[in-house]
Structure 1
C-alpha cells in the first residue's frame, strides 16, 4: 500500500520524543491514555511492567531474528498480518486501527517487518495515547500523542510512495 522512498529515510533517524532505557521510568512519564508498543525489544521491556494495549512484533531486532520470541500470552488476542520490509501494508494498517480502537489487548504479529509501524500508530492513536518504539542502540522513545505530532505523522505518510488515499482510509482519516 505504501513504500518508504530512500529520500525519506533520513527523516526517521531523529526520535520523536524522549529516549528511555528503563521501562518503569518511561511508564511513570507516560500519560493515562492507551499504550502502544512497536517492536519486540520494546514490547518485552514493557511487559515486565504492564501489558500494552497494542503491541507490534516481528520476531526480529535490528533486522536479525531473535533467539526467543516475545511471550505474547499476556495479551487477550493475537492478530497475524503481512507487512514486507520498508512498507506499510493494508493488512497492517487495518489491523492496527482495529486494535487501537478495540477494547482488548492485542498483539499484532507481523510476518515481515514492523519497523515503520510507529508512524501510522501515532497517526491513528487518540490524543493522550502513548506510542513507544525503539531507537536502535539508544533505548525506547516515548511519544505522547497530541494534535501536533499526529499531524506530523500524517504528513509523513502522505509523502510515502503508493496509495496514500487508500492508506488514510484504512486508518480512518483523510488529509
Structure 2
C-alpha cells in the first residue's frame, strides 16, 4: 500500500521523542492514553512492567531472528499480518487501526517487518497515547502523541510512495496529498 522511498530514509534516523533505557522511567513519562509498542525488544522490556494495549512484533531484532519469542500470553488476542520490509501494507494498517479501537490488548504478529509501524501508530493514536519504538543500540523512544507529533507523522505518510489516498481513507486521515511529492 505504502512504500518508503529512499529520499525519506534519512528522516527516520533521529528519534521522534526522548530516549529511555529503564522501562519504569519510560512508563512514568507516558501519557494517559493507550500504550503502543513497536518492536520485539521494546515490547519484551515493557512487558516486565505492564501489558501494552497494542504491540507489534516480528520475532526479529536488527533484522536477525530472536533466540526467544516475545511472550504473547499476556495479551487478550493475537492478530497475524503480512508487511514486507520498508512498507506499510493494507493488512498492517487495518489491523493497527482495529487494535487501537479495541478494548482488548492486542499483539500484532508481523510476517515481514514492523519497523515503520510507529509512523501510522502516531498518526492515528489519540492525544495522550504513547508510542514506543526502539532506537538500535541506544534505547527506547517514547512519543506521547499530541497534535504536533500526529501532524508530523501524517506529513511523513503523505510523502511515502504508493496508494496514499487509499491509505488515508483506510486510516480515516486527512493527508495533505496536494503538497506531497509524487
TM-score category (smaller protein):
over 0.9
Alignment of 1:23-172 (within 5 A): 23-172=23-172
Q: Deviations over 1:87-139 (max 9, x none)?
A: 00000000000001111100000000000000000001001000000001100
Q: 1:30 & 1:153 partners in 2: Cα distance?
A: 19
RMSD: 0.5
Q: Which residue of 2 aligns with 1:3?
A: 3
Unaligned runs of at least 5 residues, structure 1:
none
Secondary structure (helix, strand or coil) at the match of 1:15 reads coil
Runs of 4+ in structure 1 over 2 Å off: none
Secondary structure (helix, strand or coil) at the match of 2:8 reads helix
- Alpha carbons 1:40, 1:56 under 8 Å: kept: yes
Q: Provide the TM-score with structure 1 as the length reference.
A: 0.99
Secondary structure (helix, strand or coil) at the match of 1:25 reads helix
Q: What is the number of equivalent residue pairs in this alignment?
A: 175
Q: 1:7 & 1:57 partners in 2: Cα distance?
A: 26
Secondary structure (helix, strand or coil) at the match of 1:9 reads helix
Is 1:20 the counterpart of 2:20 in the alignment?
yes
Q: Deviations over 1:17-72 (max 9, x none)?
A: 00000000000111111100000000000000000000000000011110111001
Secondary structure (helix, strand or coil) at the match of 1:100 reads helix
Q: 1:126 & 1:31 partners in 2: Cα distance?
A: 10
Secondary structure (helix, strand or coil) at the match of 1:174 reads coil
